[in-house]
Amino acid sequence: MSFVEYGDTIKDGDTAIVFLGHESMFPVKVQHGTVTQTKYGVIRHSTDLIGKKYGSKVTCSKGGWVFILHPTPELWTMNLPHRTQILYSTDISIITMMLELKPGSIVCESGTGSGSLSHALIRTVAPTGHLYTVEFHQQRAEKAREEFREHGVEHLVTVTNQDVCKNGFGVTDIADAVFLDIPSPWEAIGHAKSALKAEGGRICSFSPCIEQVQRTCLAMEECGFTEINTLEILLRVYNVRTISLQIPDLGKAAEDNSSTGFDSSNPSNPGSLGANLEQGAVQFKSGVPLREMVGHTGYLTFATKS
């Protein structure tokens, strides 16, 4: 199993996603002799998972069923163990596009955190690219190495435990892109410039506060970066539901239309308006935004090395 090389069959040692519904799923490490408890009953790895195809419908001990999905960076973002605040797919998608990443790209990242963005970057630059990710916290760095190894992508990523603001990324003049998600990104802009290739490399800094953005933009200008711009991505979800609205009283004009001799049973005829008026309301499908919307996550500042 690999997050970038998809297989058909569930094997011992794989990480799989147990899908109970769109709002309920979780990751599980497949092991011989192990069982997993769900609200629908027990899943026995040896008999229910190993050897089955990904996407299979598995019946649990209580008669309920779940789907077993192959892990992807998107599914991992929704289910990973949180060691830090993470980036979600809304921001990740614009980051990979604006940094102009593709298979073969070399990317530097700090900090690694819970590895949400890291998995997406690795999938984007595979099979010939590489991710150099720096994490200040030793335990988080060690856990990230372990996860990358378990997920079959360790050959595409190098994890370094150090302070990027003091020691940089450990590489020079090779990166196509740099991503910063640290408390004081302005202190790492010089190191980012050194890591980027001679010309045309892209940089992105993620910061939750506008004051951080201001200091980072000033540092970028001082280091000669161009095309500096800041974005904020807000996700607005629409629900499709049935809406009921009262039909307005159109007065005498409506009465005249209803007496013109048209077949009121035919909706295409103007005379059908009289029948609708008698009902008093009409129902139709409409897209309605949620009453509560996910708010601000952070600002994304992009720039180009000139």
To 10 degrees, what angle do helices 89-98 and 116-125 make?
Answer: 40
In the chain, list all ranges with CATH 3.40.50.150: 75-234+295-305
Tokens of 1: 């199993």
Say if residue 149's pLDDT is above 70: yes
CATH class for the region spanning 9-71: alpha beta
Topology annotation, domain 75-234+295-305? Rossmann fold (3.40.50)
SS3 75: helix
Which burial class, exposed, middle or buried, applies to 219 when counting CB atoms under 10 A from its CB (0-12, 13-18, 19+)?
buried
Comparing 112-121, 257-266, 288-297, the range with the smallest average pLDDT is: 257-266
Residue labelled with tokens 């990317």 = 107
Is 115 labeled as ligand-binding? Answer: yes
Tens digits of residue pLDDT in 51-101: 999 999 999 999 899 999 999 999 999 999 999 999 999 999 999 999 999
Query: How far is 200 from 273, CA to CA, in rounded Å?
Result: 64
- 117 appears as a binding residue in the annotation: yes
d(CA 275, CA 99): 59
pLDDT in tens, 2-23: 999 888 999 999 999 999 988 8
pLDDT in tens, 223-257: 999 999 999 998 888 889 888 888 877 776 555 55
pLDDT tens track for 182-207: 999 999 999 999 999 998 999 999 99
305, containing H or E segment? strand 299-305
Query: Is residue 100 a known part of a binding site?
Result: no
Binding site annotation covers 273?
Answer: no
In the sheet that holds 225-231, the strands lie side by side as 157-161, 130-135, 106-110, 177-180, 202-207, 299-305, 225-231
Arithmetic mean of pLDDT, 280-291: 85
74 is in an annotated binding site: no
Start and end residues for every CATH 3.10.330.20 domain found in the chain: 9-71
